[in-house]
Amino acid sequence: MLSLEHIALTALSVVLLVFSAIVHEVAHGYVAHLCGDDTAKEAGRLTLNPARHLDPFGSIVLPIVMGIMGGFVFSYAKPVPYNPYRLKNRRRDEVLVALAGPASNLLQALVGAAAFNGLWALVEANPQLYFSGPLVLGMNAMELLLTVFSSYVWVNLMLAFFNLIPLPPLDGSKVVCYFLKGEVLERYYQVQRYAMPILIFVLYILPRLGFDPLGVYLNACVGNLYNLLLGM
């Protein structure tokens, strides 16, 4: 039976994930704007107002269900629209727009790590802070804040490196296309047609068969960088 604490922590993770995904999408639109495409601006999407970005299923229902079930938690906001034909230099700028999302998540992870490390230094100087105050979800205020910031770092690192996977609709696919030409590019476009089934297969079926390449990739990138940023 699920505990109230587990449900509450899952909800907290979903809130952090959704906020981070919104910043991710706004970053795409803002860089497109800097590169000459005002599609996102004209659509009113260069804002952090959740109402402009939330997808009822992808932003709320899906991550909550996945979080309660355990394992990999995935969330998405409505993609910010952009028109590649309005970009100043389409070939170059499409890559910049694609990388803006993961870059925003890495920046958020750095901000979260700075906050976590600052609080931890305060706790080390005043250990009583860690054990004082009323309990919320079984934790006092300082412990809860440390949990929030460490989770924020983890969520953003996951979003950054997951979105760099070279399968559409993930950002890594646009980056890969920049380096491919001719027949190789055409073959890549053919593979893209099956991107979603491939992604589902890699995410959920392969691990059940004892082979988890995505898990290895995320552990190597996210796990090591998380430990480095938080001094673990």
- End-to-end Cα spacing for the chain: 32
Q: Is the dihedral of CA 147, 150, 153, 157 positive or negative?
A: negative
Q: Residue 47 in contact with residue 23, Cβ under 8 Å?
A: no
Residue type, 138: G
186 catalytic? Reply is: no
Residue 199, C-beta contacts closer than 8 angstroms, at least 6 positions apart: 165, 167, 170
Q: Annotated catalytic residue: which of 25, 94, 124, 186?
A: 25
- The SS3 of residue 87 is coil
Active-site residue numbers? 25
